Structure 1
C-alpha cells in the first residue's frame, strides 16, 4: 500500500517551492554551518540525561541516516528546546517582532538586558506537560498534553507578550516545536514516502519512550547562533491550577 504523505511532510517537497529555504544564507550556509544571528528567546530545554533526550538523540541518528540527509543543517542535541515565546533577533527589528517603545537600532545585548528587566514583572504561572504530536524533517511538533496544559502554555505566552511589549501576528496560532535541523535543500518528491515512513516511526517511538516530554522550566536565554542558548533567568512554575 502506498504511504500517505501528510500535509506537514508534503510542505518540504521540492515541487512546493520556487525559492530556497527561508533562513539559508542568514542562519546557516550550504555546508550546514551556523552563522552569527544573535538574539534572545524563552525556551524549555530538554532535561539532560532523560529518556526524552535519549529518544531524540536516537531520532537524530535516524534522520542522519537518510540518503539525502546532506540537505539538512543539524543542530546539536544539547541545544534542543521547545520555544515558549520568541524574543528578538538580529535582522527582524520592527514591530510586532520588536517592542514599539524601543528604538529599532538598539544593540541586541542592550535589548537582552532591557527585556530581562521587564521580566521582573512576570507573574508566577502554572506548570504544564508536553507531548509530541508530529515528526517533521526539521524536528517535532509538540503541544500541551491536556486541555489544561494547553491553557497554561497560552497563559505563559500571553504573560510574556504583556511584559515584553509585543505580540507576533501568529501569537494565537503559534505551533510549539522542537527544531532539530534546518533545510538546506528541499526534499525530492520521490523521496517523500521514505521520509514519511521514517517520520511516522520516529513519532511513534518518541511517544512510547517519552509520553510526556521531560523539559526543564522555562528560561530566558541569549544566543549568538542556533548552536547554544544560554539560560539567563529560569522561571519555576507556581502551583498547578485545579481542573474542573
Structure 2
C-alpha cells in the first residue's frame, strides 16, 4: 500500500476529496456506499469495475477464461442488418474524444448473452456451478458443463426476437452497451423460462438472475468520462440506437451456442443447443 494511504486520517481523506473535486468533473458512478461504521460514504472506485478484471488499465484485454451461452449476431446474409449497423458505430467511435477511455471489441465477437456460465475469476457460490468443487480446473468445468448442455433440450421456438431498448442509460452507465428488450411479453416469458431451465441444468444462479438485462457489448470503459465527454457519448448513443432500430426493427437470433473463452475478444462455439 502506498505510504500516503496508510494513515486514513481526516487530513488524508480531505486531500483525496479535494483532488477528486478538481479532476475535470469526472463522471464517477452516481451511487456511493455508506461505511460499515455509519460514517462518511465510501469514495467511488478509481476505475470502472472491469479494469483489472477483464482489461488491463492501458486497455489491453486481460485473460478471463470461462464459458457462456450466447447468440452471435448474424454477420452475413439474411438478418445481418443489426451487425452492419453496429459496424457503423465501430467505424465512427474512434473519431470522438471519449474513445481514448474505452476499448472497442472486435466485431466478430458481437453477441447477446443468453446465460452467463462460469469463469475462472469468480469462483463463488451462485456464480460457479454448485455441484462442481470450487477448485476444479477451468478446462474440466468447461467439459462438465458441456456434457450437461449436450443433453439439454432447448424446447423453445426460434428465432429469439429482440429489439433495441431506446431508454436513456442510467447515470454512470458507461460506453458502450446496447440494451435489448424481448419484442413482446410472450418472447419475454420464453427467454426467462429458458434462463430458468439453464440455471437448473448448470446449477448456477447469479444474484441478478431475475433482473438480468439482455444487451450487446461493443466496448468496455477503461476510465471515467468528463462531463463533456459523457454528454457527447449520450447524444451519440441516442442516434446510434435509433439508427440500429431503424436498420433492424427486430434482431433475430438463432439457436444459443455453448462457448468457451480465453478473454473478451473471442467466444469459441463448441456446439449449438438443440
TM-score, structure 2 as length reference? 0.78
Residue number in structure 1 paired with 2:98: 68
| Residues 124-170 of structure 1, C-alpha deviations (whole Å, 9 max, x = no match) | 32232011104762220002111111111111101110100121111
Residue number in structure 2 paired with 1:239: none
Relative to structure 1, is the Cα distance of residues 107 and 18 closer, same or farther in structure 2, using a 3 angstrom cutoff?
Answer: closer
Q: Separation in 1 of the partners of 2:92 and 2:271?
A: 34
Residue number in structure 1 paired with 2:149: 119
Q: Is the 8 A contact 1:125 1:155 kept in 2?
A: no
Q: Is the 8 A contact 2:150 2:273 kept in 1?
A: no
Q: How does 1:138-149 map to 2 (within 5 A)?
A: 138-149=176-187
Shift of 1:66: 1.4
Residue number in structure 2 paired with 1:13: 27
Q: How does 1:159-178 map to 2 (within 5 A)?
A: 159-178=197-216
| Residues 181-204 of structure 1, C-alpha deviations (whole Å, 9 max, x = no match) | 111011112322211110110010
Residue number in structure 2 paired with 1:3: none
The answer to which structure, 1 or 2, has the higher relative contact order (CA under 8 A, 6+ apart) is 1
Q: How does 1:37-48 map to 2 (within 5 A)?
A: 37-48=64-75
Residue number in structure 1 paired with 2:55: 28
Return the match for 2:248 from 204, 210, 214: 210
Q: Which runs of 5+ in 2 are unaligned?
A: 1-25, 31-43
Return the match for 1:54 from 74, 80, 84: 84
| Residues 16-46 of structure 1, C-alpha deviations (whole Å, 9 max, x = no match) | 3443111112311233211111000000100
Residue number in structure 1 paired with 2:131: 101
Q: Which runs of 5+ in 1 are unaligned?
A: 1-11, 237-244
Residues paired across the two proteins, number: 225
Shift of 1:63: 2.2
Q: Is the 8 A contact 1:73 1:181 kept in 2?
A: yes
Q: Is the 8 A contact 1:32 1:74 kept in 2?
A: no
Return the match for 1:187 from 212, 220, 225: 225
Shift of 1:15: 6.2
Relative to structure 1, is the Cα distance of residues 82 and 15 closer, same or farther in structure 2, using a 3 angstrom cutoff?
Answer: closer
Q: Is the 8 A contact 1:125 1:152 kept in 2?
A: no
1:133 aligns with 2:147: no
Q: Separation in 1 of the partners of 2:45 and 2:196?
A: 35
Q: Separation in 2 of the partners of 1:123 and 1:216?
A: 15
